[in-house]
Chain A
Amino acid sequence: MLSSAARDVEKESKGAVAVSHDWSQVVEKDHQRIIHSLAGNATNPNIYATIFLRLGTPAEDEVINLAKTYGKTKLIEVSLSEAKSIDKLKEIAIDRANTLLTEAKNEQRVAAPYSAMVLGLECGGSDAYSGITANPALGVASDKLVAQGGTSILGETMEILGAEHLLAKRAVTPQVGQQIIDVVARYEASINYEGIDIRGAQPSRGNIEGGLSTLEEKSLGAAKKAGNAQFTGVLEYAIAPSKPGLYFMDTPGHDIEQLTGFGAANVNITVFTTGRGTPTGSAVMPTIKVATNTEMATAIPDIIDLNSGTIADGTQTLEENGELIYKLIMDVANGQLTKAELGGHHEFNLSRLYGSSL
């Protein structure tokens, strides 16, 4: 419960980014999911250093110890019980942050192979254009990256529900295909367990207003983000892939919970297709927004990086637009800022399977 202090450190330091969340630093039912989410985001390869503002609980030790096993990110702890006041905690953290920021500015870009690249594939606020414009165009870009030895991760289990049999056929082995089927069945059971028929709750009202009729229709369009490559494996939420290829990760469709899972899995950049338009971003990854239709891309240009509505307009082919997405991914990888970064968007949520009840 030190989020307000973290936000103050962001405000008063010379460029640190705060991650706000509602964890109370104690063990709850979703403990493993939470510690993997926090440790993974703290050590995302895009991050130079992470400062943990902490109380001093054993549950926090688990996050920090896991993070230490993950990567090369510098990890610094500032403890409230040692600082003895919120003001002092913030003062120490701001001081440490500014020193680290100066160090980080001296870092040089280095050439990296495609295998260092992990792309996240996401859609949110989908409409009837999603499945015929932005999603398949992103699939073109994803296929190209995977063919060059990079990694792509498709998430949103709800959004492959109804299309899982088609994805399973693309698995590298029958075992991986079965994992895709099993993860979807597990997901549907976890919702039905609550007495809710997911096919009644989805597509969302925003989706229906955008012209989508059924969850199956939404899923068939959503899965197109993953192109036509073979699936190398299935990932649990917030767990990084161990080798390059195309993966499916079991994440909620909730846009921010999905971004948190990707950020924890070493995703460098997420491409986020949207029909209705959404401004959100991540604290640890550039998030590229691709519009599915020209009308929305024109109406809210401050949150859209690239328009795939041109495919429906007939002014670009799917392949031409997919190439543009691929080029933008590479430009962003080389330092070009996304609209979400320019707007300072870095929403963050912890994903729980058991609600907020402890």
Chain B
Amino acid sequence: MSITGFAHKGRGVGVRDHQLILPSVVCSTHVSRKIANEVGAITFAHQNGCGIIGIDVPGVDNFFIDLANHPNVQSVLVVSLGCETIQGPELLPKINRELSRLLVIQESGGASGTYESGVTQAKQLRDNFKSEKAPLDKLIVGLDLSRDVPGLSAIKTALTVAGFEVVSESEKAVSEHNLSKLMSAKAQVVFSFPDENQPPSGFPLIPVINIASTSPLHMALTSEFDLAQDSTVEEIVALINAVANGQKTKSELSGIGEIVAPRSVRSV
């Protein structure tokens, strides 16, 4: 089965055509969300960008770069405060130069001035640079193995036979860190096995397909899962193809899921 995606200059062919409003620091997350809500873009709340030290500085910097360069991203507006550790003006040259812009709140007339310029710039990036449809040669499928999965090797084999490249992360109990790592590995569709005591997972830039366990929580939430626990590998492969071609997942429809940047050290 063939997959048609969107040609994103410098970022590759993606299966979604998202615009990302990227706050380089917690202080700009609110303005970023106001802009994103107004123009229909994606953003995320986070607590990073300032007061970070040690390995977290390159760690968070690289995480932001990976988000901005993800193939599912059409364009990026970085919103910076101006005095933070991870400086927006330094972040911008490290991300794909195509369709990437920067606003600095302290130099753009404060929160209201930044909001107004942000809406204008985001709309220009969206309307003046329509993405062309393009075939996708190799879909990277991420596996979020937050719980133990019986028959995992059969699933991996089926995905490989279907022509997908498979990357997996297997930190247990919560999905957020696995999803962040799969994003950095440029997974364009994630197939998630959330922990028995966690809800379906989601990641705003990436369609996440959730497969239920038989836990009481998952059985109570069957309508939020894309597939039941006893789904066949054929059903899994078919759904991944459909989602890659545009069908929305349950997590995309509900909007569940946060982007969590990996942190190793306390804030100062």
Contact = CB atoms under 8 A, between A and B. Distances in A.
A254 B267 contact: yes
A111 interface: no
A301 interface: yes
A267 to B, nearest CB: 19
B256 interface: yes
A202 interface: yes
Given A86-B224, A277-B106, A26 B173 contact: yes
Given A1-B176, A24-B198, A300 B83 contact: no
B40 to A, nearest CB: 14
Contact of B53 (A4, A5, A191, A356): A191
A262 B174 CA distance: 29
A86 B257 CA distance: 12
A124 B77 CA distance: 25
A252 B266 contact: yes
Contact of B256 (A4, A22, A278, A355): A4
A343 B177 CA distance: 32
Contacts of B45: 3, 20, 347
Contacts of A24: 173-174, 176, 198
A85 B217 contact: no
Contacts of A2: 199, 256
A227 interface: no
A296 B109 CA distance: 10
A356 B56 CA distance: 11
Contact of A279 (B110, B263, B264): B110
Interface residues of A, number: 68
A352 B171 CA distance: 19
B163 to A, nearest CB: 32
Contacts of A20: 45, 258
Given A253-B51, A280-B30, A344-B30, A81 B198 contact: no
Q: What is the size category of the interface that chain B forms with chain A?
A: 35 or more
Interface stretch (A66-74, A171-179, A192-200, A319-327): A192-200
A343 B257 CA distance: 26
B84 A206 contact: yes
B142 to A, nearest CB: 18
A276 B29 contact: no
B149 interface: no
Contacts of B106: 276-277, 296, 300
A165 B61 CA distance: 36
B110 A3 contact: no
A109 to B, nearest CB: 28
B267 A351 contact: yes
Contacts of B267: 252-254, 257, 351-352
A65 to B, nearest CB: 19
B31 to A, nearest CB: 7
Contacts of B82: 206, 276-277
A209 interface: yes
Given A1-B201, A56-B217, A357 B263 contact: yes
A204 B85 contact: yes
Residue among A158, A252, A300 having the largest count of chain B Cβ atoms under 10 Å: A300
A205 B87 CA distance: 9
A257 to B, nearest CB: 6
Contact of A26 (B105, B174, B201, B265): B174
A148 to B, nearest CB: 33
B-side binding surface: helix, strand, loop or mixed? loop
Contacts of A345: 30, 111
B10 to A, nearest CB: 28
B111 A279 contact: yes
Interface string B229-256: 0000000000000000000000000111
Contacts of B50: 204, 254-255
Given A196-B54, A204-B50, A280-B27, A355 B265 contact: yes
Given A190-B266, A207-B83, A355-B266, A26 B110 contact: no
B216 to A, nearest CB: 7
A112 interface: no
Interface in A92-149: 125
5 contacts: A3-B258, A86-B255, A299-B109, A300-B105, A352-B267
Interface of B: 26-27, 29-31, 34, 45-47, 50-51, 53-54, 56, 81-85, 87, 105-106, 109-113, 171, 173-174, 176-177, 197-199, 201-202, 216-217, 220-221, 223-224, 254-258, 260-268
For the complex of A and B, list the 10 residue pairs with the smallest distance between their C-beta atoms, beginning with the closest: A206-B83, A300-B110, A254-B51, A349-B47, A356-B263, A254-B267, A279-B111, A276-B83, A24-B174, A355-B263
Interface of A: 1-5, 8, 20, 22, 24, 26, 55-57, 80-82, 84-87, 125, 158, 190-191, 194-196, 198, 201-202, 204-207, 209-210, 252-257, 276-280, 296, 299-303, 343-347, 349-358
Given A277-B110, A345-B30, 16 more contacts: A1-B176, A1-B257, A1-B258, A20-B45, A24-B176, A55-B217, A85-B224, A87-B254, A191-B266, A204-B50, A204-B83, A254-B50, A276-B81, A299-B110, A347-B45, A356-B261
